[in-house]
Amino acid sequence: MTLPESRPASTVPLCRHREDCRLCQSKNVAVALPLKPSPLADQYVPASLLKQPQPSFPLDLYLCLDCGHAQVLDVIDPEVLFRHYIYESATSSPGLVEHFKKYSEQVLSRVRPPRGSLAVDIGSNDGTLLRFFQKAGLKTLGIDPAQEVAAKATASGIRTIPVFFTSEVGRNLAAEEGPAALVTANNAFAHSDELADMADGVREMLAPDGVFVFEVSYVADLVAGRVFDFIYHEHLCHHSVKPLRTFLSRHGLQLFDVERLPIKGGSLRCFAQKAGGPHPTRPTVTQLMALEADMKLDQLEPYQQLSDTLDGLRSRLLVLLAQARGAGRRIAGYGASATTTTLLHHFELGPYVEFLVDDNAGRQGLFSPGLHLPVLAPEQLYERKVNDVLLMAWRYYQPIVAAHRRFTDAGGRFILPLPELKVLPL
């Protein structure tokens, strides 16, 4: 297909505040979870760019009081966020390759697309998921605006078009490639400010019996598990089933199944088809809608309770860190991801953490967004005689602690900030 020209980022504001709900366009929205402003979460920079300013932007989570959708309404220009994206699935998130392998197996067993039929992945990144579909005999096509990542994926054998997915792109690809038996979107369905247009594009691409499968963070897990650090400017939407079902129906799509997954702090895997498609609606849809009603996720109360809990955790953590620094203990952070940025800035941890370490060699040598903490290899915990390690990657604390027993054996402490403040070993 003919690629649309990239729009110069300077033609629109870097950040704009949306006044209405992204799903239903209601203006009856209110701040549900106030968060401190943050720089762009994944913009770790090399030393050569340290003098360039990295402004912070509002990051409050809003709730639509009409449809119940939770969302960030301060929108960063997607050209800035995604054209030069550095995240790659195969290297940036522990366990994600294995997750996509199981994902592909489960989806193929459910959908059973014929060999040679088309599978399209929106926000395909380095093609990790599509590679499993390709091995199963499907024709694959990736769509991802990150130009360098898309070129790398194409060179590796996964054809990837470097564009933002729109309804126009969907129509053009359906005409050129034929209808898709399978369309997937993993977290990309939470990244776009234009979800209505994206949903229309998916409908344009799907075969009459095709299936749209997408994974997104689940707001029920965000609230219950205190996973607030998954809120950053890429993650505009934090979905729940009830508003999603209504939204998809409005765009000619039917949500017929949902699954809860532990990945990324708690996610939903959603299955949708064209309205009137062959798949019956499974009980999981209404079951999760009932759970959401019990949790009052369409009301402000649970988010306000989460905010109060986070304020208490932050206060206790800052006291602990101040005592450690006062005793002459050196503190480093473990983990240098986008979630680290939200945690660092909302909990105001910059004055206490000397540097970050990360197992991803691609992050080592860079500096964190805004605070410019250096990212080093984990061996530096020992070389620099660190006493306390703050587990920024707190969801992965068990393998991290297990891999660094010699740190605790030598008297070091791991500090777990969430979901409860703990000092390890206990």
What one-letter code names the amino acid at 124?
S
- 250 and 347 in a single domain? The answer is no
- 282 and 358 in a single domain? The answer is no
Name 96's Cβ contacts closer than 8 Å, sequence gap at least 6. Answer: 89, 90, 128, 263
- 328 and 279 in a single domain? The answer is no
Looking at the 3D structure of the chain, how many domains does it have?
A: 2
pLDDT tens per residue across all 426 residues of the chain: 555 444 444 455 799 999 999 999 999 999 999 999 999 999 999 999 999 999 999 999 999 999 999 999 999 998 888 765 555 555 455 577 888 899 999 999 988 999 999 999 999 999 999 999 999 999 999 999 888 889 999 999 999 999 999 999 999 999 999 999 999 998 888 999 999 999 999 999 999 999 999 999 999 999 999 999 999 999 999 999 999 999 999 999 999 999 999 988 899 999 999 999 999 999 999 999 999 999 999 999 999 999 999 999 999 999 999 999 999 999 999 999 999 999 999 999 999 999 999 999 999 999 999 999 999 999 999 999 999 999 999 999 999 999 999 999 999 999 999 999 999 987
Residue 190 corresponds to which tokens in the numbers above? 């939470």
Is 178 within a domain?
yes
CA distance 106 to 211: 13
The residue from 235, 266, 299 where one domain ends is 299
Residue range of the domain that includes 180: 89-299
CA distance 280 to 52: 54
- Residue pair 331/388 in contact by the 8 Å Cβ criterion: yes
- 120 and 239 in a single domain? The answer is yes
Q: Kindly report the three-state secondary structure assignment for every residue of 59-109.
A: CCEEEECCCCCEEECEEECHHHHHCCCCCCHHHHCCCHHHHHHHHHHHHHH
CATH of the domain at 103: 3.40.50.150
